[in-house]
Structure 1
Amino acid sequence: MPTVDMPLEKLLKYEGVNPRPADFDAYWERAIAEMKAVDPQIELVPSEFQVPFAECFDLYFTGVKGARIYAKYIRPKHATEPHPAIVQFHGYSGNSGDWTDKLPYAALGYSFFSMDCRGQGGLSEDVGGVKGTTLRGHIVRGLDDHPDNLLFRDIFLDTAQLAGIAMRMPEVDPERVGAMGGSQGGALTIACAALEPRIKRLAPVYPFLSDYKRVWDMDLAKDAYQELKDFFRRHDPQHKREEEYFTKLGYIDIQNLANRIQGEVVMAVGLVDTVCPPSTQFAAYNKITAPKRLEIYPDFGHEGLPGFSEITMQFMMGL
């Protein structure tokens, strides 16, 4: 079996190396309380794109710190109500994509929500306001500021807020909501289900944003993680604050959130992934205590995984 990381038997036991802040749980309880205090000011605008069997909306809501967040929302016209729903998250720097790839779930009678991450390639706002560098990446945004100003804290909260909005829609059964996404979207799927534990089923694909220190130790701070190397080279070239920085990154490390998940999980991983190393993904997967299973692709990296979209749909049809 080809490998760029540990042998599979070690991956299945790997627990991660990135520090976990001592106040991690209190940090996220405080963040959730802040999110719940926000008036989302939900706005639904019919989209220019429409199809005969569903209604398509541009959905806007206010997230923490006042940012307006955008999501595509597709509501089936003839579904039994209340019905299941899916929330979907995109890869790093991207956006929610086209309407057309979401229509199969609407055809099944599911509502479907797909969020643009704040400040990335879509329509959601980044309201800024952090001290320190904002060069080339959202992982390091806020790293020289108070931990509450880490940008991915706010993005994680946006995912949970969107899930809560979906659950409050009168046409949606709040007990039958799933989450899905790949890479950054896989990380956000895990974060969403951790911060909104009513998520019933989740299907993360090669999740990003996990076990940052392991990425560094493997000398794979490149591609999606390049900003870590840029940050140290410019702001801590002798690594005098390395422990401090990796500990702060622990607040937005999905492996530390994984044990909060209550929904059922099916996760896909490619064993020759050099963008999000397999061990970093297993660090999160191995901490999930809810029912779970892995779909392993030994010869695949950070790329399309044949058949997994079908596995995901079959899995979500169980909602």
Structure 2
Amino acid sequence: MPLIDMPLEELKSYKGRNPRPADFDEYWNRALAELRAVDPQLEFVPSEFQTPQAECFDLYFTGVRGARIHAKYVRPRHAENRHPAVVQFHGYTGNAGDWHDKLAYASLGFSVLSMDCRGQGGMSEDTGGVKGNTHHGHIIRGLDDHPDNLLFRHIFLDAAQLAGIALELPEVDPQRVYAMGGSQGGALTIACAALEPRVKKLAPVFPFLCDYKRVWEMDLAKDAYQELRTFFRYFDPLHEREDEIFEKLGYIDLQYLAPRIKGEVLLFVSLMDTICPPSTQFAAYNKMTASKQLVVYPDYGHENLPGSGDRTMQFFMNEN
């Protein structure tokens, strides 16, 4: 089989390259304390798009640093009992997508909450306010400021907050709240379940935002990771701050949040992925201590993985 990374047996024991900041746990405990202090000021606005089987709402809530975050909320119209909910996250720079693609889950009796990431292609607000570079890219936003101002810190907290909102909805069964997404959406699925450990099941697909130094050493700081190269070229051309930069990126490296997950994990990985290299994903998967299973696509890259959507739906429908 062709290889763009390590052989599969090596991937299964790979532990990651990016440094973990010494105060990583304190960093995220402090972030969660900030989140708990926020009044979300929930607002549900009925959408013009409605169906006989499902009610559709634009959901707005206030996240950390005062940003108003938007999500699409779809719930079964005639549900008599509390029912499961799925929290969805989109790929890098995208948005929550159309209403119609949430209806399959709604037809099965699930509510669906699909978030627009702040500052990307949807309707959520980016309040900004960081020192230093804001040129092309959210991974590096805030990298020259205090670590508490990293933009992906806030986006991770938004993801956890949305799951917390789902857990508190009167129509939702809090024992059946799940999370899903691919690429950046896979990353936010992991972040969501790590920072809101009441999420019972999660199905990340080729997650982004793992093991940044490994990406760099593989010379794959391009495409979705291009901003890493851009940052060094513009702001540290001699790499005098390289150790500092990768350590700061460690705060938003999902391999170090992964051990916090309590829910059951179904992770999809494609071994020919040159956008989010397999080793970076295994760095996170191998640190997960919760019940987990891996689905490997040997011949696929960063693309649609046939059967992954069906398998995810069956995973969420299975009550066992």
Q: Do they superpose with TM above 0.5?
A: yes
How big is each residue's C-alpha offset from its partner over 1:26-81, in whole Å with a ceiling of 9 and x where there is no partner? 00001001101100000000001101001000000000000000000001012242
Does 2:276 match 1:272? no
- How far apart, in 1, do the equivalents of 2:73 and 2:80 lie? 17
What letter corresponds to residue 253 of structure 1 in structure 2?
D
Percent identical residues: 74
- Establish whether residue 71 from structure 1 lines up as the match of residue 98 from structure 2: no
Task: Write the distance in 1 (CA, Å) between the matches of 2:80 and 2:267.
Answer: 29
**Unmatched tracts of structure 2, length 5 or more:** none
| Residue identity opposite 1:278 in structure 2 | P
- Code of the aligned partner of 2:138: H
Question: Which residue in 2 is equivalent to 1:230?
Answer: 230
In structure 1, stretches of 5+ residues that fail to align are: none
Counterpart of 2:177 in structure 1 is: 177
Match of 2:129 in 1: 129
1:76 and 1:109 in contact (8 A); partners too: yes
> Partner of 1:312 in structure 2?
312
1:1-319 paired onto structure 2 within 5 Å = 1-319=1-319
Give 1:43's aligned amino acid.
Answer: E
One-letter amino acid of the structure 1 residue matched with residue 141 of structure 2: R
CA apart distance, 1:82: 1.1
8 Å contact from structure 1 (residues 2, 271) kept in 2: no
Distance in 2 separating the partners of 1:80 and 1:18:
49
Q: Report if aligned partners of 1:178, 1:202 keep a CA contact under 8 Å in 2.
A: yes
Give, in angstroms, the shift of residue 205 of structure 1: 0.2
Shift of 1:318: 2.1
Residues 160, 193 of structure 1: 8 Å contact kept: yes
| Cα separation, 2, equivalents of 1:34 and 1:295 | 36
Shift of 1:110: 0.6
Aligned Cα root-mean-square deviation (Å): 0.6
Shift of 1:3: 1.4
SS in 2 for 1:156: helix
Counterpart code for 2:65: K
Contact 1:168 1:174 in 2 (8 A): yes
Kindly provide the amino acid, as one letter, of the partner of residue 19 in structure 2.
P
CA distance in 1, matches of 2:85, 2:79: 11
* Secondary structure, counterpart of 1:281 in structure 2: helix
Structure 1 runs (4+) deviating above 4 angstroms are none
Aligned residues: 319
